[in-house]
Amino acid sequence: MIGSTLVPELAMGLTSLLAHKLRSLLTMLGMIFGVGAVVAMLSITAGAQKEMMRFIDQLGVNNIIVEAHEAMDRNELQLVRAVSPGLTFRDFRAISENVSGLVAITPRKHFKPQRLLPKTTQEPPQLIGVLPNFVEIESLKLVEGRFFSSQENQISAPVCVLGESAKIALLGYDSAIGKSIKINDTWLQVVGVLTPQASGDADVEGAQASNRNNLVIAPLNTVMRRFEDNTSYLKDEIDGIYMKVAPTVDSIDTSNVVRAILAATHKGAGDFTVIVPAGLLEQRKQTQMIFNVVMICIAGISLLVGGIGIMNIMLATVLERTREIGIRRALGARQRDIVRQFLTEAVLISIVGGLIGIAFGFTLSKVIASAAGWSTLVTTSSIVVAFGVSVLIGLLFGSYPAVQAAKLDPIEAIRYE
């Protein structure tokens, strides 16, 4: 019974919309912009979440990173050194011996090359020295070659592994294995090339501000013994410590232990930062939740305006079609039939507006991604949410005009001019 009346009412509703195309389009604008804003906003947040998850995954949710705050000039250095010796191998040994649950740990020493061969017009890669277990801590994968070994670290072998960007900038797109690069006065043989690494906003996240793909990774002893930096007097003995805890160990609790050990030796100098990716992830989720709520409220205002527009136009339609309503009632139409007729028209406006709004939001997200360089991701859930809200708005704001139409007195409605 319902199916037999629904099709004619849908056809009648579409006929009514098409009879007043411009008015219908203007009525839909609020829904189009509101739904488009919801889809675009959710696509931006989904894209940001995806990139953040990639970055956190690269840092490792079970990892803890200690970064040194190195002095910018001699005056700052003297002030810090009066209190703290800076980040040292002693700190590395203290953490290794006193922190339980560690799977692997490595110091890090980095240098900015002064001279490079082959020469490159791109940003020079950064040289870092680490232990071989760095590949396990960072869950690194290689597209070709291998990572250096413990023996190569012990003998300070002149070998290195290149990040993707560094490999392309220095050696092009051909295989790099067996080729050599010269950093300052030292030749290093390439033994491996890493797969592309996710990058994040390092300044925001607190991690070292460097392109993770633009690295030259060499054995720690090789870097410590074969390279000398002109500004080494400003630098700590080591500038970072990477550690990985067991999956069953709480990395946030472990980081508190690491922070306490370093606070004791650095005497509150504030010359280091302990970064916990798991903690960063929780902070980002909370921040993103607040952002989502704010953006949904803003988009909700557009949808509310669209709903008011639907109610306004439907009330005007009721006045225009008062005589039609009276004739239908006189021919036997019940009040619920009149309600369903006008409610169907209101929902049709919101459905068509929602569909156009989804297309608008999808296009808007692509434009934003292209213009701003942001990563966007239109998800099925965002489309379902936006479309569902648009239909709900049609039902809510179309109910009052539909009820008002059903309450009209048939005799007075027929006589209405």
Q: Is the peptide bond before 118 cis (omega within 30 degrees of 0)?
A: yes
Q: How confident is the model at residue 201 (pLDDT cuts 50, 70, 90)?
A: very low
The predicted structure's pLDDT at residue 143: 93
CA 414, CA 326: separation in Å to the nearest integer?
A: 5
Tens digit of each residue's pLDDT (9 = 90 or more) over 148-183: 999 999 999 999 999 999 999 999 889 999 999 999
CA 404, CA 64: separation in Å to the nearest integer?
A: 65
Tens digit of each residue's pLDDT (9 = 90 or more) over 205-248: 444 445 778 899 999 999 988 887 655 555 668 889 999 998 88
The average pLDDT across 400-412 equals: 79
For residues 50 and 204, the answer to whether their CB atoms sit within 8 Å is no
DSSP element (H, E) containing 337:
helix 335-372
**Of 334 and 232, more confident:** 334
For residues 240 and 68, the answer to whether their CB atoms sit within 8 Å is yes
CA 155, CA 222: separation in Å to the nearest integer?
A: 8
DSSP element (H, E) containing 129:
strand 126-130
The predicted structure's pLDDT at residue 316: 82
CA 401, CA 224: separation in Å to the nearest integer?
A: 79
pTM for the predicted model, two decimal places: 0.62
Neighbours of 172 (CB within 10 A): 11
For residues 411 and 326, the answer to whether their CB atoms sit within 8 Å is yes
Q: CA of 162: how far to CAs of 115, 191, 226, 321, 395, in Å?
A: 17, 8, 18, 75, 59
CA 224, CA 376: separation in Å to the nearest integer?
A: 42
Any idea where the domains of the chain sit in the sequence? 2-55+283-415, 62-276
**Of 206 and 145, more confident:** 145
Who's near 138: CB < 8 A, 6+ residues apart?
A: 58, 59, 60, 63, 242
The predicted structure's pLDDT at residue 232: 54
Chain centre to alpha carbon of residue 4: 48
Neighbours of 102 (CB within 10 A): 18
For residues 139 and 183, the answer to whether their CB atoms sit within 8 Å is no
